A and B are shown apart, each in its own frame.
Chain A
Amino acid sequence: MAFLPVILWSDVLIWLLFATAAIFGWLSVRNPLWRTAWQRVGRSRAGMASATVLVVFVGVGLLDSIHYRPRLEEAAASAASGTSRQPPAYAVEVLSVLDAILTPLRTRNEKTYSEPLATRAYAKESIESRGADGQLQQSRDYPRLKHGGAHLGTDETQRDADIGQRLLRALALATLLWWALAAATAAGLARAESCTHEEAWRRIWHNESDFAWNAVLATIGVLLLVVLPLAALSFNYHVFGTDKVGQDVFYQVLKSVRTALVIGLVTTLVTLPLAIFLGVLAGYFRGWVDDLIQYLYTTLSSIPGVLLIAAAVLMMQVLIDNHPQWFATAAERADLRLLALCFILGVTSWTGLCRLLRGETLKLRELEYIQAAQAFGVADLRIIGRHILPNLMHIVIIALVMDFSSLVLAEAVLSYVGIGVDPTMISFGTMINNARMELAREPMVWWSLAAAFVFMFTLVLAANLLADAVRDAFDPRIAGSA
C-alpha cells in the first residue's frame, strides 16, 4: 500500500456529524412538515447564498478530515523489488487529502515574511553574490524569493503583466464555467418543470422558482470569480504572502477551516445535551431539581471562564506530556489536545444556554396546551419531548450559531493566552496570535491577520444568515403570517 490510513478522533466525530446531518436530511424529505419547512429555507435567498458558501467551507473541512501517512520512498522501492521482507515504513508526518491537493502550497516555503504576490522578501538582508569579475560582492537588498514568482527568472518587471494575464485567463474561465453551470441549471429546471429553456431562465432570475436558484447561482458566480484567480495565482505566487517561517498564508487559512469547524461543531455536541437536558429538567420539574441545577450552573458560571479552562487545559497538557507512548504521531497528539479543548469549552459554556432554556421552559409549562396535555395524563417525558422541546428549538438554533462564532473567537483568545490548540496545529487563533506581534512593527505585516479575519468573518456570517433562514422557516408563527 502506498499509504497508511490514519483515523483521528476528530475525523471520526466530523464524519459522524456529517452522517447525522445526512440521515436528518433523508428523514426530512420523508416528513411532510419538515420538507415544507426546508422548502421555505430553499426559497430564502440569503439562506441559500450562505448555504452555498458554507458548503464550500464544509467541503474544505471534510477534505481535511481524511488523514493518512504516505509510504517512504526507499522502503517502497525495496518492497517493490522484493529483495527485502522488511515491513514497509511510513512517514511520521500525517497528511490529509487537502494536504495532498495543496502539495505545492504546503511544500514551497520561503525563509520568512513576504508580501502577497511578492517576488522578494519583506526585509532587507545581506546578500553575497559573485560579480562579473568573479569577486564576491556583499550587498544589502531584499532577497529574491525561492518560489514566489520563480518562473519569471530574473525578469521581475514582468510580474504585473504576468499576474494580469493569469487573472484575465482565470476570470474568463470562471465566466465560462459559470455560464455552463447556469445553462445546465436552467436545462435541469426546464426538464423538471417541463417548460422551455427561456421560461426556466426567466423563472430563475425573476424569483419565480420554488428554490432560490438565482441566489445560489449568483453566489457560485462570485465564488468562482474569487476562487479561480486565487488558484491560478497560487501555483506561482504566495497570494496571501508568507508568515514568519515562510509558510504560505493561503495554505494556513485553508487548514484553519477544519480547526474552526471542529471547535464550533464538536463543542456544541458537548454543550447541547447538557444545556437542553438540564435546562428543561430544571424548568419543567422545578422544586429541588431546579435548585440543584441552578446551584450547579451558578457556581460554574461564577468561576472566571478563562481560569477554569486554563486549569483544565494545563492539567490535560501535563497528562499528554507524561504519556508520549499513547501517540504514534504528533498529529494524533495535537488532535487529542484539540478534542480536549472542545470538551473543556463545552463543559464550561453550557450555562448560558441552560439558563435561557430553563426560563423559556418555565414560561412554556404554564401555557394552556401543556396543561391540556397534563389533563390527559400524558407522561412528563412525553410532554417534554413533544410539547416543550419543539418549542425550544428556535432558541437552540440561535444559540448554536451564536456559540459557533463565539467559540471560533474563544479559540483565538485561548491561543493568545497559550492554552489553545497545539502550537503545531494551524488555526485562526494561532494565525491571529502570530500576526498580533507583527502589527506593531513598521512596516506592518498585515496579511496574516487580514486573511484569517476575512475567512473567519465569511464563515461566521454565512452560518449566521443560514441560521436566521432556518429559524424563520421552522417557526410556524412567522411562517404562518408570511
Chain B
Amino acid sequence: MTVTASDQPVRITHGFDFTKLVLYGFALALCLLIVLPMSWLVYYGFVDKSGAFTLQNFITLANDPTLREPFVTTFILAFSTSLICCAVAAPMGWLVARTDMPFRRTVRLMVTASFVTPPFLGAIAWELLAAPNSGLLNKVYRMMTGAESDAVLFNIYSFPGLIFVIACYTFPYVFVLVANALDRTPGELEDASSILGGGTWVTARRITIPLALPALLAGALVAFLQAMTLFGSPAILALPAGFHTMTTKIWSLFQYPPKPELAAAASLPLLILTIMLLRAEHMILGRRSYAVLGGKNSAPRLIVLGRLRWLALAFCFIVLLNPVFLPYGALLNASFSKVASQFVSFSNFTFHNIYFVFFELSATRLALYNTFVLGIATATIGTIVAVVISYLTTREAVTGHKALGFLATAPVAIPGIVLGVGLFLSYTRPPFVLYGTLWILLLAFLTLAMPAAYQQMQSAFKAIHPELEDASRILGATRLRALREITAPLLRTSVIATWCFVFVGTIRELSAAIMLFTSETKVISVLIFDLNESGDLAAISVLGIIMLIVTSCIVALANRLRSGGGNVRLRDN
C-alpha cells in the first residue's frame, strides 16, 4: 500500500490545484441555494409587518380552525397512506425479489411507470375514473349491475379517495426499498435455516421477513413524508371534497390578499417534521448493515410458489391497475372523446382536443419551451454539480468535504412547496430580483434535484477505485486533469443516467413551480393545473399523455444505461 498522492497536493509540478477553489465555490453556491431561502422563511415566520419579532403568526395559526384543521387532516392522511403503501408494497416487493412469480421484471418496470407519473396527473386521471357520477368506473358498475343512476361505487372526491390516489403514487417508494433490501439479503442465512430443517414458510417468516423489516419501516416513513408534503394530488381532489391539507393551505395563503408571513409560519412545522422523519429513516436504515455481514454472499434463493404463482401475479396486476393501466387508459380515452366522461366510440371520436392543445391554446408553445429549457438546464447544471461534489466527497479530496455532502443532501428535507415559499420570499426583493425569470425556477429545480443527483453520482464514484486516478496523479496530472481523462470516461453512463433522472424530475415538478411562475415563465405542469381549475379535462389529458410519453422514453433510456443498482428517489410534488 503506498501513500496516496492526494495527501501531498502541494508537490504538483503542473500548476495550481484548483480543487480548493472549486470546493469553496460550490460550498458557497450550495449555501446560497439552500440557506438563503430557508433563512427568509424563518425570518418571515417570526416577524410582523413592521419587522419586529413576534410569535403572532404561530398564535394565529393555532387559533384559526381553518388553519388548524389542515394539520390534523394531513397527519391522518399521511399515516393512512403509509399503512396502505406498506400493506401493498411489502408483499409485492417480496414476490418480485424472492419468489419464482412469472413476469417479475415486467412488474418492476410497471412500478417504475407509476413512479414517473406525476401525482397531479394521476389525480386528474382518477377524477375521470372515479368521480361519483361521471366516473368511468362508476358508469361501468351501474351498467353491469343495473344499479340506480345515483348508485356510487367509488367516490374520489372524498378523504378516502384522496388517500387512495396518493397511495397509488407513493407505494413505489416502499416497494423499491423492500425489493432492494430483499435482493441484497444473503442466501446463506436462508440456506442455514433450510439445512436446520426449516421449511420454506418458516424460513420466510423467521429469516427473510425480519431481515427486510428495517427497509419496510424506512419505507413507511418515506411514504408518510411523501404523503405529507405532496401538493399535486390534494390540490386536485381536496377542494371538491371540501377540505384542505397543509400544502394546499399554504398555497391558498398566497391568494389575494397574500399572507406570506402565515405561509412561512405554516411551512416551518412541515420542514421540521420532514427533517425529523428523515433522521428516523437514516437511523433505521443505518442499522441494516447487520443483514449483509459475512463475506461473499450467494444469490438469494427463490421460493417456489407452485400454483400460487399465478395468483401472485394476479395480485400484482390488480395493484398495478390502479396507478398505471386504468389512469393511462382514462387519459387516452379523454384525449380522443368529445366528452371526457364518455367512452370513445365512432360517434364521439374526435381529434379536436389535440388540435385545440397545439393550435388554439396559445400558452402551449411557451410552456413546452420553458419546460424543456428548464429541464435541460437543470439536468445539465445539476449533473455537473453532482459530479464535482461527489468527487470531492468520495475521494475526501479536501477538508470540509463532509459539510459539502451534507449541503447537497439537505434539500431532501425541504418540501417543494416550502422551498417555493422560501424562494419567493428571497428573490422578489433586492439584491436578487429573480422572480419573473426562468432563473428562479432553475434555482428551485436545481435545489430539489440535487440530493437525488448527488446520491446517484456518489454511488457511481464509489464503484471506481481511486487507484486509477492515483496513477494518473503520480504521473503528474492535476486533480482536474485526472478527473477529466481517467474518471470521466468511466463515469459516462452514470452521468447520462443522472441527467435523465434530473430531467424527468424537473419536467414533472409542480409544487415549487406553482409558487414561482409568472405568465412568461409558465411550465407544463402549471398549465395543466390551470386547465384543471376551469375543468378543461380533455386538454389536460392530451398534455398529460405527451408528458408521459416524453418521460417514459427518457426513463427507458436511463434504465438501459444505468450500470449499478443504485435506486434513485424521484421526489413527488
Does A pair with B?
A: no
